[in-house]
Amino acid sequence: MPRFHRKPHRKSILRRDAVRIGGEEVEERSIALSTELKKDPAKHREKADIVGRIVGVASAFWLVEEESVYGAPHSEPFAATHECIVGGVVTSDNPDDESLLAVGDWVELARVPDEPGKGVVVHVRQRTSRLFRQSPAERQVHVIAANVERAFFVHAVTQPYFSRRLLDRHLIAAEVGEVEPVIVFNKVDLGIPPDVEHAIAFYRDRLGIRTCLTSTVTGEGIEQVRSAMEGVTSVLVGASGVGKSALVNACFGINLQTVRTISRKYQRGRHTTTNARLFHLPGGGQLIDTPGLREFALARIEPEELAFYFHDFDPYYPDCKYLPCTHTHEPDCAVRAAVDRGDIESERYESYVLIFESLNEQEER
Ligand SMILES: Nc1nc2c(ncn2[C@@H]2O[C@H](COP(=O)(O)OP(=O)(O)OP(=O)(O)O)[C@@H](O)[C@H]2O)c(=O)[nH]1
Ligand SMILES: [Mg+2]
Ligand SMILES: [Zn+2]
């Protein structure tokens, strides 16, 4: 599905002992890397005695479900977890400019002697896919969810107003992170404004993206969403108020408010948490629920390659006079000619220019 191959991941990067919770820095300690570890990273991994998946975060702990627990049939959305800290040295198979740990990661951990249910993360396994954004606070790539097959981008057709710009960013992030996108247009019971109707047809018919029209009030489209989530790990993304929690409740009868309460119980002191949480679906599969993200800055895309993610531009850019062409100011630009003729939607082109500018600004910083 993704057309461009990302840079290969470097192996076993030694990480400092930065305790980062969902991209937010909680505590940082410097560590002395033992010379022994530098010589032999495999030896370090021998300290681990459990493999598990990160399912959530609570205060300074990462919650990890042991592999056997994770893989067993689930009658409840949540299973027993180990409360893990990141201490000493952690090795990772992932690039060192992205979050060390994210919900959905497979990790190797060591039990803490005499403290049942406690663990220390020793190693983070290579992510097969990830949904990420540029962290607003730092120069780091914030991994929202790791090892997910599908991302459900929930947008309300109205209330709050539908933002094409945000959806365009979502779709690009999915492609860069090698995650299949599904767009959920929720709240259709409120009536679909004509411009949103038009946009739905564009994404579904022209771009060929899987699209669900839903209402948690009338039940329309709920079955479609439920079946698209079954059997895979998905992540649920959307701005606050679009109806993510209502959707999960309508699909699976799971009330996510209880999850928030569970997470809040652990919140102490100044530590803030991102409450992303993985839970098991009754029909098989996992869903990672994320808090409402209004900002979605893209990461790891050069401004010059942005146009390649706008697939409605595909038929045109080979005919641009200058290569590479940014399709912004160059003469004899086939993309801009297509916009003028109406063959490319002006909304999409505006979206392209705005994202192009923001990527340039990010580069300058
Ligand atoms: N009319 C209508 N209202 C809906 C629908 N789905 C959700 N809502 C309402 O929209 C509001 C927000 O829903 P939530 O499920 O809390 O939204 P959310 O995306 O989880 O928001 P955050 O948790 O803040 O990220 C609530 O008042 C819901 O009752 C729908 O299909 N139709
Ligand atoms: Mg919610
Ligand atoms: Zn051009």
Residue 343's domain is classified under what CATH number?
Answer: 1.10.40.50
The pLDDT value given to residue 39: 63
Radius of gyration (C-alpha) of the chain in whole angstroms? 22
Q: Give the residues surrounding ligand 1 with Cβ less than 6 Å away.
A: 186-187, 189-190, 215-217, 238, 240-246, 291-292
CA 321 to mean position of chain CA atoms: 36
Domain-embedded: residue 29: yes
* Domain count within the chain: 3
The pLDDT value given to residue 177: 96
DSSP assignments along 182-218, one per residue: EEEEE-GGG---HHHHHHHHIIIIIS--EEEE--TTT
- Per residue of the chain (365 residues), what is the pLDDT tens digit? 444 444 333 333 333 334 443 343 333 333 334 455 556 777 888 889 999 999 998 777 899 999 999 998 888 888 888 999 887 788 889 988 898 899 999 999 999 989 889 999 999 999 999 999 988 777 789 999 999 999 999 999 999 999 999 999 999 999 999 999 999 999 999 999 999 999 999 999 999 999 999 999 999 999 999 999 999 999 999 998 899 999 999 999 988 765 444 444 444 332 333 578 999 999 899 999 988 877 789 999 999 999 999 999 999 999 999 988 999 999 999 999 999 999 999 999 999 999 999 999 988 87
> Domain holding 38: CATH number?
2.40.50.140
189 plus 235 within the same structural domain: yes
CA distance 365 to 354: 17
The pLDDT value given to residue 257: 63
Instruction: Please list the residues that pair with 25 across neighbouring strands.
Output: 20
Domain-embedded: residue 2: no
Collect all residues with Cβ–Cβ distance below 8 Å to 359 and sequence separation of at least 6. 298, 301, 302, 303, 306
Ligand nearest to the CA of 156: 1
264 plus 351 within the same structural domain: no
149 plus 205 within the same structural domain: yes
Distance 243 CA to ligand 2 centre (A): 7
DSSP assignments along 256-304, one per residue: THHHHHHHHHH--TT------EEEE-TTS-EEEE----------S--GG
Query: Taking a C-beta distance cutoff of 8 angstroms, is the pair 237, 293 a contact?
Result: yes
CA distance 320 to 335: 7
pTM, rounded to two decimals: 0.87
Distance 18 CA to ligand 2 centre (A): 29
Domain-embedded: residue 298: no
Collect all residues with Cβ–Cβ distance below 8 Å to 364 and sequence separation of at least 6. none
Q: Which atom of ligand 1 is nearest to the CA of 238?
A: 19
The pLDDT value given to residue 15: 38
The pLDDT value given to residue 61: 87
156 plus 258 within the same structural domain: yes
Domain-embedded: residue 1: no
CA 354 to mean position of chain CA atoms: 22
Measured CA angle at 206 (ends 202, 209), to 5 deg: 85
Distance 58 CA to ligand 3 centre (A): 48
Domain that holds residue 73: 13-127
Distance 289 CA to ligand 2 centre (A): 8
The pLDDT value given to residue 123: 92
CA distance 220 to 240: 21
206 plus 270 within the same structural domain: yes
CA distance 103 to 167: 22
CA distance 229 to 282: 11
> Domain holding 236: CATH number?
3.40.50.300
Last residue of a domain, one of 263, 289, 315: 289
